Amino acid sequence: MIDATRTTNTRFVVLTSNRTGSTWLMSTLNSHPQVMAQGELFLPRPRVAEKRWDSDFARPRYIETRFGRAAIRPFTVFTYLNDLYRTPGAVGFKLMYLQLARYPEILGYLLWRRIPVVHLVRRNHLDILVSYAVKAKIGRAHLLSGDKSPGNLAIELDTRTLIGKLKWLQKQQDYARRLLRLCRLRHMEIAYDDLVRNHARFETILAFLGIPPEAALESRLEKIRKGGHRDVIANYEAVKTTLSASEFAGLIQ
């Protein structure tokens, strides 16, 4: 909840892809008293009923509103975003690469309103694939604080498709970088890997957005995977051998 007694009116977007730690980033930013950080407002399906980190304050997704049902685009998308950004304080939402491709008019809106973009990346693409596999195994994307951690997290990665998937993830990330540069949108890139190693890097994001620093930023989420690659990848040696002859050899720990 935004502290109405001291607000900084800032609008922003976090551009990213799946399994990059974006939900952790948004929930951490949302703990700032001046920030309202929303999730994937352009995810093309209604919300589920289960308790989530943002259940208490999440706005209806575009598809759940009268704008989405009317679907006279781009006008309804612009109206939806205008309504979102009328909220006082620092307000932002999470936008996935594929959602931007589905709703390209969002880019026009960002340019029109000069909305700053935080481009969140994850340098270790192998961690992204491991995260996908863990999610598929336990049937959950995130754990809330206090939730019981799952037991055996051993997963296997298909070595036949591994290199192709890593190349695709790198290609998506590079394309997003080029798009931001070509459009000359004001943006900054931050790596999840750096945020995990040094929580003080959140100050860089706040400074970029013109939001006062806040020492006690905390996420409502728990980390699911605690160990390294060898602890969680059941076919670790096969994965390491596959990567050793590629440009991704340095990704495996």
Q: Which domains does the chain have, with CATH numbers?
A: 10-251 (3.40.50)
> Residue 172, Cβ neighbours under 10 Å: how many?
16
CA-atom Rg of the chain in angstroms: 19
Tokens of 35: 């920030």
**C-beta separation of 92 from 29 below 8 A:** yes
pLDDT of residue 51: 79
The closest alpha carbon to 42, from 86, 12, 88, 80, belongs to 80
> Torsions phi, psi of 44, nearest 5?
-85, 45
Confidence at residue 222, expressed as pLDDT on a 0 to 100 scale: 80
Q: How far apart are CA 182 and CA 154, in angstroms?
A: 42
Report whether 21 contacts 64 (CB < 8 A): no
Residue 7: its pLDDT value, please? 55
pLDDT for 29:
97
DSSP class of residue 21?
S
The segments of the chain whose pLDDT lies below 50 read: 1, 3-6
CA distances from 90 to 16, 59, 158 (A): 19, 15, 42
Give the SS3 label for residue 123. coil
Q: At 40, which helix (H) or strand (E)?
A: strand 35-40
Contact predicate 40/61, CB 8 Å: yes
d(CA 251, CA 61): 35
Structure tokens, 174: 């590079």
